[in-house]
Amino acid sequence: PRRLQLYNWHKWAGVAILALSALRLLWRLLRRPPPPAPAPRWQLAAAHVTHALLYLLFFAVPLAGWAYSSAAG
């Protein structure tokens, strides 16, 4: 019973993280980001790529868990 309860909490945490990620993306699309700090061009490009990859992971991790959970059950 305890293991099942922890499993359900884990699933709800994933759903909450997915919902918060969607809200964060919506906020980011509706609000202008601050101007970038002065830096070399390669650092700005690296920051942009890293930011995009983080947003990808915000959605990929909970969705992968959801897909795994759906396939197993």
Q: Quote the pLDDT of residue 48.
A: 94
Q: What percent of the chain has pLDDT above 90?
A: 74
Q: Confidence band (pLDDT; 50, 70, 90) for 73?
A: low
Q: Quote the pLDDT of residue 58.
A: 93
Report phi then psi at 40, rounded to 5. -60, 155
Q: Per-residue pLDDT tens for 9-44?
A: 999 999 999 999 999 999 999 999 899 999 999 999
> Domain-by-domain residue ranges, the chain?
2-72
Task: List, in order, residues 6 or more apart from 25 with CB less than 8 Å away.
Answer: 55, 58
Q: Confidence band (pLDDT; 50, 70, 90) for 70?
A: confident
